[in-house]
Amino acid sequence: MAIDDLSPDERQALLEARHQEYRNYWLGPYGRRTRYSIEMFPLLHVDKPRGRALIPAMQDMCLRKVAETFGKYFKQELGFDFPPFTASRDRRHGYDPTVEVVLFDARKVQATFPIAAGGAGLSVVDGE
């Protein structure tokens, strides 16, 4: 059953259980890390993908912001002038409808929710 199929009370209880799991598992507050250190992001409001590691990040603004953060890591590590992806849907900020963005679930970390460990932008050509 998907999280969106739950009643509001069941959804709230599941999110609280996931928050509790997150607080017990992930140590320390977030902050700027040293070079070559990439933060993984718990996606408490997303169902864990079954049989695959890709999480589409085009429609959900929270997921778009996580993808943007991975893009900033990419920019910082490789010295580019600008990140390859921005969460804003405004063309002035680099929105390109021919690009699909996905996040990678950290398959080796056991949790009831997905944990974004990276991302990728895929070009869409002729709808594929």
What's the pLDDT tens digit per position in 41-54?
Answer: 889 999 888 877 88
Residue 87 domain-assigned?
A: yes
Say how many domains are in the chain. Answer: 1
Tell me the pLDDT tens digit for each residue of 42-87.
899 998 888 778 888 888 889 989 999 998 888 877 777 888 888 8
Residue 70 domain-assigned?
A: yes
- DSSP annotation of 110 reads -
Per-residue pLDDT, 31: 43
Per-residue pLDDT, 33: 38
Among 104, 105, 102, which Cα is nearest to 124's?
A: 102
Q: Which domain holds residue 38?
A: 3-123
Tokens of residue 19, six digits? 């928050």
Per-residue pLDDT, 85: 81
Residue 106 CA neighbour count, 13 Å, CB half: 16
The pLDDT confidence band at residue 32, using thresholds 50, 70 and 90, is: very low
Residue 128 domain-assigned?
A: no
Residue 97 domain-assigned?
A: yes
Per-residue pLDDT, 77: 75
The pLDDT confidence band at residue 5, using thresholds 50, 70 and 90, is: very high
Per-residue pLDDT, 66: 92
Residue 41 domain-assigned?
A: yes
